[in-house]
Structure 1
């Protein structure tokens, strides 16, 4: 009889009836009641109140009823931990039953009940079951050890379960071996410690068990073999000899795991003949995977893509297998295209191009675009086939299909960059299709072609003029290309009409745009053209490096890591597992670990104290003491407990006294901007006034300071999370720019290089102007400092309320990717040129919404000194006046936050009296708290 009837009960008073039925002496009735409880639990009803009644049904000889009760216990034991202890005696008793199924069921269920109170009771039954005579019980107990380790790792180590698992690797039953191996691998992954080390003696036992295991047992063994350190090529040959038959297995997971082992061994042998033989045997099994359902095909293709990048010879003759079928899903087609590009060669390019041409006439727009780009990538990769690829692209352009033409223009631009001065004869055909270009990337590509070959296109000025008509409405990508192309045209054909054109473009790019990249590039071009046109030619018309197609190529270190993770999610995502799997490491902090952490912290403090006298000269003892006192305190987790310990900036000299101010809404008597600016900024301001195009003015002197990040910066990364790497850092303002000052200590056992930085979207649009962290190669124990310049990137601007947190990722070639969250201090984001005139202040104050007001517990005796302190943090006093009838002084202050966000302040104070009333207005009122904090710190 079907059990569906249990899922359709909605009677009132059902719980009461179930209690009575569970207490019945009639066994069939009791069993029916438990089934009803399980059904109710399955559909989401809360039946936890029946816990003691269900537990009373455990003591039964009926195996089916016992399984149902155990299922209930697994689900509700967490919510009823005190009552769960009631079941312990029955579990212990069941673990000694003559029936091995009941013994295994008992120990499995105890491992699934994740309640700390009963873990101690699990140890003795588990220890007995690990030595049980029945292999089914032993293999079940082996998995239970991994579950227990996840709950209480100390208990597993203290009771010697890890040693028992290692002994089980020599068990006579292959399934026991496989489960013990799987449990040890899981524990090693959770703990981060090396608990499994395969010896040569153990290796041959695993290979012997391989033939007799189930398919998933074979997967566990094959995955473990990848980590075996091969002693010589003979070991590799023996392993491959035993693993090769697994390539014919019906389970695709076994095939991929076997392929992973063979590929790993191919790295170890030096015989090219042997590698060729193995490669030939690996090709057909991989091809067979493509006959499965689409989902399996996709996983296989993602893995094959990795294999082809490292060993293209394995499938070099199988390119036809990857031709797309009409009924393939789009995700399968896209992956096949990538592999076809990788396998394309001079021998098969004609077949591949014929396929791509067919794909470019399909109805799926995304697939068509990908096919056209594939033709271009083949042209870039294969020099001898470039002419044939261009011929196919020209045929596609003749179809006049809008998106086909645009993609063709994009890839032809890349071909021109790959083969300069070879295929310019086709430019005329491209110019005939200008009306088809409406997408930014296609427009930018065509503009680049016109600018690059302006001396060979008779009407280049007319063509560019058609694009310039819509210059203000174009995207940043197109505007940048139009600016550069117009400059190239002017340098190649300096006619009067072109001269007028360049003046209009430079004027629009410097005065009518909010894009800092476009404006800065226009300033650079303007400076070059106005001072030294010949130097401009050397810069703008210089020979460009030849490009290569690396769009689908992974970095060697990443590819090597992924090759060892074939048949896992990492190989599908093409990312290391630690970038998308967040798993808590349960390594226990011991007294030795704590001592090591403290020793490391003391070493940093001592290094800071030793470095201070050399850096400061006179006054060295005081500087050393300051360096020691400001060093971060490291706790068990490697976190900074003191936060920002950087000393406050020295106050600037007093600013000039501003004139009086009438009523705020009746007009402003504004002090000159130069008087409001801090004296330190005067030389840079004077230089800017003398030469508005001196974009690099004042930066040279600041460079040394920018690269000397002190170890006393707040700690951002450390402990186990840093894998031996400790990073200190903070956002600073140096030489008029925001920089991320970083100090990196390499406490790992390997040299570290290739450090790169990236940030997530944030409230200020902060992004690294250069992602490289220039500390070079850090040997074990070495340290390095760098100042990463930060720029405003609108694409990084997060929407919503202001968040003073910065999510940062740092990648290294050896240790992978690290993540941390950092506080964004507002003071470094206040710009030097943040002044505005009085009328603009008044208009902005009137137009902005209701201000935020806060009373700061600050006492000011000298207003002029207070104005100087505000100027030192780039908050500029526009006007100062007494407030009639109150005895107060009013200061009207403005500043500009990174990203061109103006903030307006009114400060009211009474000299020598505690308390400053601060009113704040801005388009982003949520910045009020951060601005108040800057004002408080500067006035204190």
Structure 2
């Protein structure tokens, strides 16, 4: 037969199976070799069904083949799987399937009856539910317990398929009757499960007493389920509570770890409101948990240790004397070692802190880098947890000289965390930290921590300004986190050692304001504009002391830990997250809790950016004036709020030095001319803020402090002090003129691309509003700096000149309106520029007006 098409192939496989089944039917089904051949054939049949092939045509051969080997239970189970799948896929044979299963429900063998009834309840074919209900009702009254077990679980399946039909036929009432009247423990356990799943279980004192009296008759699974139910029961008296605990005490020494954990949870729940009793229970529970933790099955040990960790965080005193039981063993897998390290931190107190730190110090030699890093983090966490113990900080300092770079790097990160909590320890630590070669720090976290230490404690280090200056020189090559750390550290040190940090600060702000990363650029512009507005205010903001932290930032919030404790002995413990975070699809992380409490930290270098748009001074003004006729708008007379968003310096007198140069830094205003060549930084500030500068000698005193150059007179006044903020040192950038833009455009004209956008008439007032400043800011979202724009009040046609830090130029022209406003876009750039993306970015922004 041809096998080229899907349908042809299916017919070929169906014929193959039918032929094989007919052949096996003609053989003696009592022989073991024939039975094995039938099993193999059925496995092949099921494999074809798994591949999506419709095998319903083989129904008659399958039935005949099994009829001669009814005593073979594996064969019957495979037949039932085939029948269930066929009934759902092909309604034409559904009635035949049901009749076959009904016949087996009357078989003399209870195992066959139970399996057939289980398959009947699993059909879930709406047209056959009446027949299924009748079979389940008969199964609930079957004399054999195995059939009743299957029938009870069949009620739950019927409930999911047709809840109204179950209520109408009173199936739940039958299950509730069996819960109290049936003499088989497994049937009772199944009844408990079904009633709980449908929300109809009522936990009464009589039910609890009955379950406890027969607790030893249940299987291990059923015992766990009964323990969960009894754990939710509230005893009416103290005597009743003691009776329950006494009856269930056997569970703490049970051979099954699941029963042990369920018993532990019950004991903790029933004594939670009685601290004196719970302290006694903790001793008993602790021994049971330690027995599980010392087992040989790593998976069981991990689950038990995870629950023990949750308990130890709530009651560390109970486990502190036994901290040696949680030392890592050589044969432990890495995931178990990591959990034991967490456990050691949880049980640390003043009596064992040094011994635990000594043990953790040995783990940094482990070949697993992640485990070594976790051991270092654990030592730092102990230093934060028990500061009164001497020697913990010395351990961290010893790690700085370790021969492995990742050990030094992680130690540096943790030292920064410790200094955030105990700044007084800087005198003993900073010198060792500064000796670290920053070239050996490869990751952004450790480089940011190193920079933070220099900025926060640089007054103790003679070479701190020069170390930061060297890092500023490689600003463009650093990760965004490191660049943010530099923008936080250099200004902080500047207010303590201004003369030495002036050059580094100027170069840093120039590079940061031209950065492609929005957060970095905004942070740099914020610092620059704040310095221009008020140096004293800048000192209060940029040099403000950081708040102390009380615990490592990766620790969970207390409310999260409480929720996990309440859900002990569930997956919440393994996932370290409340159940709703991985069960409810609308919430997917623990972030639903507010974990940014006192102990959470933004990062050792303060890398996080402000998120409140109403409190930010960073509404980036990415424009520069292209002609002398376009003046920066002045503050509103009488306004008490200075305009920090308009820092354009106007035409600079120094623009005539040498050939004109095109400044295309992203989001950065034109460079102010240095002192003696036009407006200096102070003069620009005065024009914008409308306030008088502070006297140079007063500023020198206010910016003085420890370190070299502190308190020295600052020759040249504020303009000289902040002269390092000139963005062109050693080659200052010059304002762009129309001639410069035209010349550059002519060079790139061969690469130009253009597009047109038609906008509604209503956008024209929005473009013209606020002297075109809002429109310029809007265009800046695509990474373009507005180099030239029409004068305030200009009428269409309107023309804008734009540029990016990658050298891409753009022209935007808005024609006089007719039925719409036609906008013509043109972009050009050097070889390798992504002009299409630039063009599409501008188009998208225009369509959003």
Q: Distance in 2 between matches of 1:931 and 1:119?
A: 62
After superposition, what is the alpha-carbon deviation per residue over 1:468-520, rounded to whole angstroms, capped at 9, x for unaligned? 2322212222222222222222211222x32222222222222x212232333
Q: Distance in 1 between matches of 2:530 and 2:68?
A: 92
- Residue 580 of structure 1: how far off its partner (Å): 2.6
Q: 1:927 to 1:148 in 2, by over 3 A?
A: farther
Who is 1:491 aligned against?
Answer: 495
Who is 1:52 aligned against?
Answer: 60
- Residue 390 in structure 1 maps to residue 398 in structure 2: no
After superposition, what is the alpha-carbon deviation per residue over 1:28-69, rounded to whole angstroms, capped at 9, x for unaligned? 488566424312135446554312322355666823253442
- Residue 261 of structure 1: how far off its partner (Å): 1.8
Check whether the contact 2:46–2:82 (CA below 8 A) recurs between aligned residues: no
Larger CA deviation: 414-423 vs 346-355: 414-423
Who is 1:179 aligned against?
Answer: 190
After superposition, what is the alpha-carbon deviation per residue over 1:905-930, rounded to whole angstroms, capped at 9, x for unaligned? 899999569x9999999969799999
Question: Pairwise mapping of residues 336-355 of structure 1 onto structure 2 (< 5 A)?
Answer: 336-355=340-359
Check whether the contact 1:81–1:117 (CA below 8 A) recurs between aligned residues: no
Higher helix share: 2
- Residue 579 of structure 1: how far off its partner (Å): 2.7
Who is 1:218 aligned against?
Answer: 223
Q: Distance in 2 between matches of 1:405 and 1:134?
A: 69
Q: Distance in 1 between matches of 2:510 and 2:13?
A: 80
Unaligned runs of 5+ in 2: 1-11, 587-625, 634-638, 650-740, 780-785, 791-795, 829-833
Q: Distance in 1 between matches of 2:246 and 2:826?
A: 76
Who is 1:474 aligned against?
Answer: 478
- Residue 62 in structure 1 maps to residue 67 in structure 2: no
- Residue 142 of structure 1: how far off its partner (Å): 1.7
Q: Which secondary structure state, in structure 2, belongs to the residue aligned with residue 317 of structure 1?
A: helix
- Residue 355 of structure 1: how far off its partner (Å): 0.8
Q: 1:206 to 1:384 in 2, by over 3 A?
A: same
Q: Please give the root-mean-square deviation of Cα atoms over the aligned residues, in Å.
A: 4.5
Who is 2:712 aligned against?
Answer: none
Check whether the contact 2:360–2:378 (CA below 8 A) recurs between aligned residues: yes
Q: Distance in 2 between matches of 1:244 and 1:418?
A: 45
- Residue 521 of structure 1: how far off its partner (Å): 2.6
Query: Larger Rg: 1 or 2?
Result: 2
Q: Distance in 2 between matches of 1:535 and 1:909?
A: 46
Q: Distance in 1 between matches of 2:486 and 2:802?
A: 34
- Residue 378 of structure 1: how far off its partner (Å): 0.3
Q: Which secondary structure state, in structure 2, belongs to the residue aligned with residue 327 of structure 1?
A: coil
Q: Which secondary structure state, in structure 1, belongs to the residue aligned with residue 210 of structure 2?
A: helix
Q: 1:36 to 1:487 in 2, by over 3 A?
A: closer
Question: Pairwise mapping of residues 428-467 of structure 1 onto structure 2 (< 5 A)?
Answer: 428-435=431-438, 436-467=440-471
Who is 1:504 aligned against?
Answer: 507
Check whether the contact 1:52–1:83 (CA below 8 A) recurs between aligned residues: no
- Residue 262 in structure 1 maps to residue 267 in structure 2: yes
Q: Which secondary structure state, in structure 2, belongs to the residue aligned with residue 575 of structure 1?
A: coil
Q: Distance in 1 between matches of 2:116 and 2:568?
A: 36
Q: 1:501 to 1:920 in 2, by over 3 A?
A: closer
Q: 1:565 to 1:53 in 2, by over 3 A?
A: farther
Who is 1:381 aligned against?
Answer: 385
Q: Distance in 2 between matches of 1:28 and 1:917?
A: 88
Q: Distance in 2 between matches of 1:535 and 1:227?
A: 59
Check whether the contact 1:356–1:372 (CA below 8 A) recurs between aligned residues: yes
Q: 1:367 to 1:66 in 2, by over 3 A?
A: closer
- Residue 79 of structure 1: how far off its partner (Å): 2.4
Q: How many residues matched? A: 668
Who is 2:43 aligned against?
Answer: 39
Q: TM-score, normalised by structure 2?
A: 0.69
Q: Distance in 1 between matches of 2:232 and 2:100?
A: 42
Larger CA deviation: 168-177 vs 918-927: 918-927
Who is 1:276 aligned against?
Answer: 279
Who is 1:588 aligned against?
Answer: none
Who is 2:151 aligned against?
Answer: 141
Check whether the contact 2:345–2:382 (CA below 8 A) recurs between aligned residues: yes
Question: Pairwise mapping of residues 3-152 of structure 1 onto structure 2 (< 5 A)?
Answer: 14-21=16-23, 24=26, 27-28=29-30, 34-44=38-48, 46=53, 47-56=55-64, 62-64=70-72, 65-152=75-162
After superposition, what is the alpha-carbon deviation per residue over 1:425-460, rounded to whole angstroms, capped at 9, x for unaligned? 232222222344333222221221222222222222
In the alignment, which of 145, 149, 163 is matched to residue 153 of structure 1? 163
Q: Distance in 2 between matches of 1:396 and 1:890?
A: 67
Unaligned runs of 5+ in 1: 1-9, 189-193, 585-669, 678-682, 694-836, 881-888
Q: Which secondary structure state, in structure 1, belongs to the residue aligned with residue 321 of structure 2?
A: coil
Question: Pairwise mapping of residues 661-740 of structure 1 onto structure 2 (< 5 A)?
Answer: 687=643, 690-691=646-647
- Residue 419 of structure 1: how far off its partner (Å): 1.5
Q: Distance in 1 between matches of 2:748 and 2:385?
A: 57
Question: Pairwise mapping of residues 290-305 of structure 1 onto structure 2 (< 5 A)?
Answer: 290=293, 291-305=295-309
Q: Distance in 1 between matches of 2:554 and 2:283?
A: 25
Q: Which secondary structure state, in structure 2, belongs to the residue aligned with residue 169 of structure 1?
A: helix
Q: Distance in 2 between matches of 1:484 and 1:910?
A: 48
Q: TM-score, normalised by structure 1?
A: 0.62
Who is 1:420 aligned against?
Answer: 423
Q: 1:479 to 1:209 in 2, by over 3 A?
A: same
After superposition, what is the alpha-carbon deviation per residue over 1:790-846, rounded to whole angstroms, capped at 9, x for unaligned? xxxxxxxxxxxxxxxxxxxxxxxxxxxxxxxxxxxxxxxxxxxxxxx9999999997
Question: Pairwise mapping of residues 535-546 of structure 1 onto structure 2 (< 5 A)?
Answer: 535-546=537-548
Q: 1:934 to 1:474 in 2, by over 3 A?
A: closer
Question: Pairwise mapping of residues 168-247 of structure 1 onto structure 2 (< 5 A)?
Answer: 168-170=178-180, 171-185=182-196, 187-188=197-198, 194-247=199-252
Q: Which secondary structure state, in structure 1, belongs to the residue aligned with residue 509 of structure 2?
A: helix
After superposition, what is the alpha-carbon deviation per residue over 1:207-228, rounded to whole angstroms, capped at 9, x for unaligned? 2332211111112222333433
Question: Pairwise mapping of residues 518-533 of structure 1 onto structure 2 (< 5 A)?
Answer: 518-533=520-535
Check whether the contact 1:870–1:935 (CA below 8 A) recurs between aligned residues: no
Q: 1:98 to 1:688 in 2, by over 3 A?
A: same
Question: Pairwise mapping of residues 573-588 of structure 1 onto structure 2 (< 5 A)?
Answer: 573-581=575-583
Q: Distance in 1 between matches of 2:754 and 2:190?
A: 67
Q: Distance in 2 between matches of 1:39 and 1:508?
A: 69
Question: Pairwise mapping of residues 801-880 of structure 1 onto structure 2 (< 5 A)?
Answer: 847=751, 867-868=764-765
Q: Distance in 2 between matches of 1:242 and 1:249?
A: 13
- Residue 323 of structure 1: how far off its partner (Å): 0.6
Larger CA deviation: 29-38 vs 164-173: 29-38
Check whether the contact 1:226–1:564 (CA below 8 A) recurs between aligned residues: no
In the alignment, which of 401, 404, 419 is matched to residue 404 of structure 2? 401
After superposition, what is the alpha-carbon deviation per residue over 1:247-272, rounded to whole angstroms, capped at 9, x for unaligned? 212222222222222222232x32x3
- Residue 358 in structure 1 maps to residue 362 in structure 2: yes
Q: Distance in 1 between matches of 2:535 and 2:816?
A: 56
Q: Distance in 2 between matches of 1:50 and 1:909?
A: 78
Check whether the contact 1:452–1:485 (CA below 8 A) recurs between aligned residues: yes
Q: 1:928 to 1:685 in 2, by over 3 A?
A: farther
- Residue 461 of structure 1: how far off its partner (Å): 1.8
- Residue 136 of structure 1: how far off its partner (Å): 1.9
Q: Which secondary structure state, in structure 2, belongs to the residue aligned with residue 92 of structure 1?
A: helix
Higher strand share: 1
Q: Which secondary structure state, in structure 2, belongs to the residue aligned with residue 383 of structure 1?
A: coil
In the alignment, which of 316, 319, 323 is matched to residue 320 of structure 2? 316
Q: 1:917 to 1:543 in 2, by over 3 A?
A: closer
- Residue 687 of structure 1: how far off its partner (Å): 4.1
Who is 1:827 aligned against?
Answer: none
After superposition, what is the alpha-carbon deviation per residue over 1:364-391, rounded to whole angstroms, capped at 9, x for unaligned? 2211111111111100111112x31111
Who is 2:666 aligned against?
Answer: none
The one of the two structures with greater contact order (alpha-carbon pairs below 8 A, sep at least 6) is: 2
Check whether the contact 2:21–2:65 (CA below 8 A) recurs between aligned residues: no
Q: 1:687 to 1:449 in 2, by over 3 A?
A: closer
Q: Distance in 1 between matches of 2:630 and 2:310?
A: 61
